[in-house]
Amino acid sequence: MMISSLRKNFLKFPITLALALMLSSSLLVGCGKEQKQTINSSFSDGLKLGALLPVTGDLSSIGQNMPEAVKLAIDEINACGGVNDEPVTLITEDTQTDPTAGVSAMTKLAEVNKVAGVVGAFTSSVSSAAVTIAVKNNVMLVSPGSTSPVFTEQAKNGDFQGYWARTAPSDTYQARALAALANKKGFNTIGTVVINNDYGVGFEQEFISAFKRQGGKMTGKRRPIRYDPKSAVLDSEAAAAFANQPDAVATALYPETGSVLLQAAYKQGLTEGVIVLLTDGVYSEDFIKQVGQTTNGISILAGALGTVPGADGEALEAFTTKWKDKTGNKLTAFIPHSWDATILLMLAAEAADANTGEGIQSKIREVANAPGIEVTDPCEAMELIRSGKDINYQGASGNVDIDGNGDVVGIYNVWTVREDGTTEIIDKISPTDATED
């Protein structure tokens, strides 16, 4: 009986002690965990960013290198300590240059991957669909190329709650720049044809207004020519745009459908003596090849003129060298803008001390604008932020001063098409030139 009792007490003691130790340990761990969540709850998984860009589809010739620029920016920051002491994770989604696919991809990024920020979209119609999802989920969306003026008006109305910005200037400015170029070249009458979406219509309206202010005339008394982006045949639209022998035809196109339209104009004999004015959406030698050659082997678009958002930032030279060294690729349009969009998201998260969309939204304008120490190197910018300094990031695409509507103002490169189908930058032009003449 005594032995049995001793055995019970002996067995009971370690169990009691173990429970006490477990309880004590649990309390200590619990306190520590609670404290960590209070201070660093947003750091646990590190910063997650998404890329929402057109790797395939109508704008793939321009968009396929953009995810590489995003990745390069993240690799750069991860190599110098990451964001908030954790490496940054990238999830890349292909919009297929299609709003429906873009919505699905943005929904996945926001609601499944739980990203804090997204670089994208490129296409204005995709960004228009994606930004609603971003705002709903408190995800900061920074586009490197959606240029529709519609976003400015929506931002003014408070639709985006600060969760929208872009590193490429609005087509309000590009349309004025192209109108200034048309005036500089002495064109008196111009026709227009655009893709029927936010990008095309916004550009068309601003271009017509700017060109008329300079004394120019639009050909014919007709409704603007807008083509369905899903159309396979565009003969009638081409005929209407080039009717009445204009000096030039201003266009806002996407490559696949735009090439069909310009081929149709050429085959109908309408392009002879008419200068085609192009924009950023088709700034690609692949597009020139798609349009084709004459029977003499000369590019159908030889002599065409265009504008594209230029890159003139203080960091451009260093970035260009880095891009060529890391990728071996030519620096094409919107690559600097994609890099800057990614860097700004990471700098803002570091400045907010939080890997959240709310944190990025609260600081992105602060790190992009004055006052603050002007800095071009992303790692140096990170170190300044970590030491408690205010910065004014100077990008590769420009100074990336983001205003209250999420807009930046930039300059534009003027490009032309040579007879062999290659493109050449021949000048620069400012949107303000449209109002100075």
Report pLDDT for 221: 63
Nearest by Cα to 157 from 174, 173, 135: 135
CA gap 88, 83 in Å, rounded? 6
Are 157 and 303 within one domain?
no
CA gap 353, 410 in Å, rounded? 30
101, part of any domain: yes
Are 160 and 181 within one domain?
no
Preceding omega of 309 cis (within 30 degrees of 0): no
Are 163 and 182 within one domain?
no
Q: Where are the beta strands (DSSP E) in 279-361?
A: 305-309
Cα 69 to its chain centre, rounded Å, is 11
Are 219 and 178 within one domain?
yes
Beta bridge partners of 27: none
341, part of any domain: yes
CA distances from 313 to 163, 348, 374, 401, 424 (A): 24, 19, 12, 11, 20
Would you say 304 and 278 are in contact if contact means Cβ atoms under 8 Å apart?
Answer: yes
Are 78 and 115 within one domain?
yes
Question: 316-327 vs 335-352: helix axis angle to the nearest 10?
Answer: 110
CA gap 122, 338 in Å, rounded? 9
Q: Which amino acid is at 89?
A: T
CA distances from 27 to 15, 22, 37 (A): 18, 9, 15
Are 288 and 426 within one domain?
yes
Are 213 and 300 within one domain?
yes
Are 281 and 158 within one domain?
no
From first to last of its 437 residues, the chain has per-residue pLDDT tens of: 333 333 334 333 443 434 343 434 333 333 332 332 222 333 357 999 999 999 999 899 899 999 999 999 999 999 999 999 999 999 999 999 999 999 999 999 999 999 999 999 999 999 999 999 999 999 999 999 999 889 999 999 999 999 999 999 998 889 999 999 999 999 999 999 999 998 899 899 999 999 999 999 999 667 889 999 989 999 999 999 999 999 999 999 999 999 999 999 999 999 999 999 999 999 999 999 999 999 999 999 999 999 999 898 999 999 999 999 999 998 988 999 999 999 999 999 999 999 999 999 999 999 999 999 999 999 999 999 999 999 999 999 999 999 999 999 888 999 999 999 999 999 999 877 654 43
**Number of structural domains in the chain:** 2
85, part of any domain: yes
Are 235 and 151 within one domain?
no
Instruction: Specify the DSSP class assigned to residue 103.
Output: H
Report pLDDT for 107: 98
CATH number for the domain including 373? 3.40.50.2300
191, part of any domain: yes
Cβ of 87: how many Cβ atoms within 10 Å?
A: 14
In order, the DSSP letters of 234-249 are -HHHHHHHTTT--SEE
1, part of any domain: no
Are 164 and 176 within one domain?
no
3, part of any domain: no
Are 132 and 201 within one domain?
no
Report pLDDT for 38: 27
402, part of any domain: no
Report pLDDT for 45: 77
Nearest by Cα to 307 from 126, 184, 198: 184
CA gap 161, 136 in Å, rounded? 10
CA gap 156, 142 in Å, rounded? 17
Q: Which two tokens stand for residue 271?
A: 């392009």
424, part of any domain: yes
CA gap 241, 139 in Å, rounded? 41
Residues of the domain holding 272: 172-309+411-436
Are 305 and 207 within one domain?
yes
Q: Which two tokens stand for residue 182?
A: 């048309």
Q: What is the rounded radius of gyration, in angstroms, for the C-alpha atoms of the chain? A: 27
Preceding omega of 352 cis (within 30 degrees of 0): no
